[in-house]
């Protein structure tokens, strides 16, 4: 049963979601307190970012013990209670699976680094240096070399992320067996699937050759979508995935649609869907750290390409936000129209064919962090990049980039109400709350009929009532327009039209079809004119004709 096609996913970043005991840190009991809120919103699946035991160098994406919960977040008993509470409400839970690397405090690594003949040495990727330098030219995603020297063995170890996140050696069958054990541990407990962190980095090309060309971008086939990816995923599918009623979504770095299809094609099912990031370049060159002006075409074109490529034989995941990305209202429009903009963006992205992923706070239109000093940031990528940037630019320019690109933009605590610390915590929050919580918060949004939150609820209910949202074929109109996003979906003799004005001005446009023959299903304005209002979004339903 491909239930993932009907999934509407809500991503929880646990540290910033809700703090139940006043220590300033979100926790599992805090999530339990909000399960009714999630149910009421209309989602049916939660993706929980890592809650495992971790020294938090990368906020939990560096795991010390895969089968236990970080003390600050609670206990395994709390976890089971949360899972049970979700299931009772008809909500499934997918966990974050981070197995490209572990924490440098994982017992395997503590052993591995001791000596070359330690039984765990081959769990990781150690190599001799070349003439006193790193074994090759690979760069870390967080800046700098991907190699760190280990004195005890006079070798370097590979870390594609921070130096406290050593890469596992997937060539070693013991590592693969360990991962299967971890998967079964959670699946047997009742977990419904996994979001697989940087899954297309698992396989590193034999001999670990240096890349030729731009760092990282030229790593395709070397450590991005490497030679044994299919082999590894097939093995996981054979021994684990196929034995449970679950789904996987693979986070895939720099992946193209053809490679994605080779993983997700129905029948192959190595993964059920992937996250790609091509549309995240709509306002930057390859990386958030190289910003440029937002252009609608750069958002639409990659999304459309993926729609056409995957809609028949595969499946897409639909997102504009996650814990690594700045807030969408800051990126894809004029923030002065925040409310209409947030509603329009939801209609635009989630009405395509695929599974929607809503990131916590997106449903109330939360904005980027307000910070002005580097000391206010906590994210390891941000701090590393800042250090790198400061080598060749002024503090002012570096801070300007940090403000645009930092991952902490989406990690500020969830804004629940007008109380102290936005109702997130009675104590000192681990990361500063955005002061705009007095205007932007859940409690007020629930009361306001025209709020973004109530629009999300209406929209998600509509989606559930009309199978065309899940099953309809996708076809785009006006692909070249930088002002309007317009596409249709077709299913079972019906046609759905999705029309979005991406400008802050009124807009004339030719709808192609005779709209008087269609029913207006949803509108983010109370007015309905021939022209489109700033950031207006409308959905029409009619006969296919």
Chain residues binding Ca ion by CB under 5 A are 19, 21, 23, 25, 27
Relative orientation angle of helices 229-239 and 173-189, to the nearest 10 degrees: 40
Any contact of residue 283 with ligand TEU (CB under 6 A)? no
Distances (CA, A) of 437 to 102, 365, 370, 530: 35, 11, 11, 36
Site for ligand TEU in 133-172 (CB under 6 A): 141, 161
Decide if 251 is catalytic.
yes
Which residue is it, tokens 């499934």? 92
Instruction: Report the alpha-carbon distance of residue 151 to residue 154 in Å, rounded.
Output: 5
- Considering only 56, 146, 168, 198, the residue that binds ligand TEU (CB under 6 A) is 198
In terms of CB distance, is 62 or 476 closer to ligand TEU? 62
Specify the residue, 250 or 314, whose C-beta has the smaller distance to ligand TEU. Answer: 250
Nearer to ligand TEU, 61 or 350 (CB): 61
**161 interacts with, out of Ca ion, ligand TEU, none, CB within 5 to 8 A per kind:** ligand TEU
From the list 56, 18, 132, 87, the residue with the least C-alpha distance to 360 is 18
Closest CA to 198 of 160, 232, 171: 160
Structure tokens at 12: 């929880």
User: Token digits for 32?
Assistant: 């339990």
* Distance of alpha carbon 262 from alpha carbon 293, whole angstroms: 33
Q: How far is CA 541 from CA 5, 308, 465, 531, in A?
A: 21, 21, 12, 19
Which residues on adjacent β-strands are paired with residue 92?
45
Among 463, 444, 263, 436, smallest CA distance to 352 is for: 463
- Residue 25 interacting partner from Ca ion, ligand TEU, none (CB closer than 5 to 8 Å by kind): Ca ion
- Shortest Cβ 428–Ca ion spacing (Å): 11
Residue with smaller CB distance to ligand TEU, 85 or 166: 166
Shortest distance (Å) from residue 249 CB to ligand TEU? 12
The string of DSSP letters for 443-475 reads: HHHHH-TTSHHHHHHHHHHHHHH-THHHH-EEE
Would you say 241 and 248 are in contact if contact means Cβ atoms under 8 Å apart?
Answer: yes
363 interacts with, out of Ca ion, ligand TEU, none, CB within 5 to 8 A per kind: none
Exactly one of 53, 197, 225, 235 binds ligand TEU (CB under 6 A); that residue is 197
Residue 62 is a catalytic residue: no
| Closer of 22 and 119 to Ca ion (Cβ) | 22
62, 192, 197, 321: the catalytic one is 197
Binding mask 235-254 for ligand TEU (x = CB under 6 A): ----------------x-x-
Cβ atoms within 10 Å, residue 139: 16
Sign of CA dihedral 52, 55, 61, 64: negative
Q: From 215, 274, 269, select the one nearest 242 (Cα to Cα).
A: 269
As measured in angstroms, the least distance from the Cβ of 252 to ligand TEU is 9
Residue 320, both tokens: 């504009």
Minimum Å gap between C-beta 544 and ligand TEU is 40
List the single partner that 198 binds among Ca ion, ligand TEU, none, CB under 5 to 8 Å by kind: ligand TEU
Question: CA 378: distance to chain centroid?
Answer: 19
Rounded distance, CA 423 to CA 401, Å? 30
Instruction: Find the shortest distance in angstroms from Cβ 503 to ligand TEU.
Output: 28
Closer to Ca ion by CB, 23 or 105: give it: 23
- Residue 61 binds which entry of Ca ion, ligand TEU, none, CB below 5-8 Å type-dependent: ligand TEU
| Nearest CB to ligand TEU, comparing residues 165 and 340 | 165
The one of ligand TEU, Ca ion, none whose footprint includes residue 19, by CB under 5 to 8 A per kind, is Ca ion
407 binds ligand TEU per the rule CB under 6 A: yes
Spatial distance between the Cα atoms of 36 and 5, rounded to a whole number of angstroms: 23
Residue 23 interacts with, from ligand TEU, Ca ion, none (CB under 5-8 Å by kind):
Ca ion
CB of 53 to ligand TEU, least distance (A): 15
- The least distance separating ligand TEU from the CB of residue 395, rounded to whole angstroms, comes to 21
78, 251, 408, 488: which one is catalytic?
251
The CA distance from 519 to 531, in Å, is 17
At 181 the three-state DSSP class reads helix
Closer residue to ligand TEU in complex, CB, 62/72:
62
Interacting partner of 104 out of ligand TEU, Ca ion, none (Cβ under 5 to 8 A depending on kind) = none
The structure tokens listed for 47 are 């993706």
Q: What is the 3-state secondary structure (H, E, C) of 346-386?
A: HHHHHCCCCEEEEECCHHHCCCCCCCCCHHHCCCHHHHHHH
Binding mask 51-80 for ligand TEU (x = CB under 6 A): -------x--x-------------------
Instruction: Give the residue closest to Ca ion by C-beta.
Output: 27
Q: Which does 58 bind (CB under 5 to 8 A by kind): Ca ion, ligand TEU, none?
A: ligand TEU
Would you count residue 225 as binding ligand TEU (CB under 6 A)?
Answer: no
Query: Hey, what are 253's tokens?
Result: 């770095």
Q: State yes or no: residue 97 binds ligand TEU (CB under 6 A).
A: no
**Interface of this chain with ligand TEU, residues 340 to 399, rule: CB under 6 A:** 381
Q: Does 324 bind ligand TEU (CB under 6 A)?
A: yes
Q: Tokens 């490497």 identify what position?
A: 226
CB 144 within 8 A of CB 388: yes
Cβ proximity to ligand TEU: between 61 and 518 the closer is 61
Nearest to 51 by CA among 154, 230, 191: 191
Q: Provide the binding-site residues for ligand TEU, judged by CB under 6 A.
A: 58, 61, 98, 141, 161, 197-198, 251, 253, 288, 323-324, 381, 407
Catalytic residue set: 197, 251
């Amino acid at each position: 049963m491909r239930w993932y096609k009907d999934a509407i996913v809500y991503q929880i970043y646990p540290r910033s979601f809700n703090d139940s005991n006043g220590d300033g840190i979100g926790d599992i009991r805090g999530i339990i307190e909000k399960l009714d809120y999630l149910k009421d919103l209309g989602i049916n699946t939660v993706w929980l970012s890592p809650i495992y035991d971790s020294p938090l160098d990368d906020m939990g994406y560096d795991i010390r013990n895969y089968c236990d919960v970080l003390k600050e977040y609670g206990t395994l008993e709390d976890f089971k209670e949360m899972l049970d509470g979700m299931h009772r409400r008809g909500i499934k839970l997918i966990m974050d699976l981070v197995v490209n690397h572990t924490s440098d405090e994982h017992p395997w690594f503590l052993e591995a680094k001791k000596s070359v003949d330690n039984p765990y040495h081959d769990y990781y990727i150690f190599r001799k240096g070349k003439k006193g330098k790193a074994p090759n030219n690979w760069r870390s995603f967080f800046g700098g070399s991907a190699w760190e020297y280990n004195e005890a063995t006079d070798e370097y170890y590979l870390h594609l992320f921070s130096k406290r996140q050593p890469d596992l050696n997937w060539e070693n069958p013991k590592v693969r067996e360990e991962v299967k054990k971890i998967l079964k541990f959670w699946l047997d407990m009742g977990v419904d699937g996994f979001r697989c962190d940087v899954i297309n980095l698992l396989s590193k090309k034999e001999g670990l050759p240096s890349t030729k060309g731009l760092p990282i971008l030229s790593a395709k086939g070397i450590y991005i979508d490497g030679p044994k990816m299919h082999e590894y995923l097939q093995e996981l599918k054979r021994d684990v995935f196929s034995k449970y009623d679950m789904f996987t979504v693979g986070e895939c770095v720099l992946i193209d649609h053809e490679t994605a299809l080779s993983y997700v094609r129905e029948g192959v099912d190595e993964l059920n869907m992937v996250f790609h990031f091509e549309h995240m370049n709509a306002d930057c060159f390859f990386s958030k750290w190289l910003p440029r002006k937002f252009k609608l075409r750069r958002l639409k074109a990659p999304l459309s390409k993926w729609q056409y490529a995957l809609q028949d034989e595969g499946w897409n995941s639909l997102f504009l936000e996650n814990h690594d990305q700045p807030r969408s209202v800051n990126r894809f429009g004029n923030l002065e129209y925040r409310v209409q903009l947030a509603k329009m963006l939801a209609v635009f992205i989630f009405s395509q064919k695929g599974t929607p992923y809503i990131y916590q706070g997106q449903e109330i239109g939360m904005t980027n962090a307000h910070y002005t000093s580097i000391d206010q940031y906590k994210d390891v990528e941000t701090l590393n990049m800042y250090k790198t940037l400061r080598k060749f630019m002024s503090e002012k320019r570096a801070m300007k980039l940090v403000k645009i690109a930092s991952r902490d933009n989406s990690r500020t605590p969830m804004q629940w109400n007008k109380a102290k610390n936005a109702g997130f915590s009675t104590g000192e929050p681990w990361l500063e709350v955005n002061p705009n919580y007095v205007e932007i918060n859940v409690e007020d949004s629930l009361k306001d009929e025209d709020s973004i939150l109530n629009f999300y609820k209406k929209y998600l209910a509509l989606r559930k009532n009309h199978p065309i949202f899940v099953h309809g074929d996708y076809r785009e109109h006006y692909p070249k327009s930088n002002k309007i996003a317009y596409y249709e979906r077709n299913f079972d003799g019906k046609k759905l039209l999705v029309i979005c004005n991406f400008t802050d001005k009124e807009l004339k446009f030719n709808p192609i079809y005779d709209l008087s023959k269609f029913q207006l299903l949803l509108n983010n304005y109370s007015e309905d004119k021939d022209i489109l209002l700033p950031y207006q979004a409308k959905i029409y339903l009619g006969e296919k004709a």
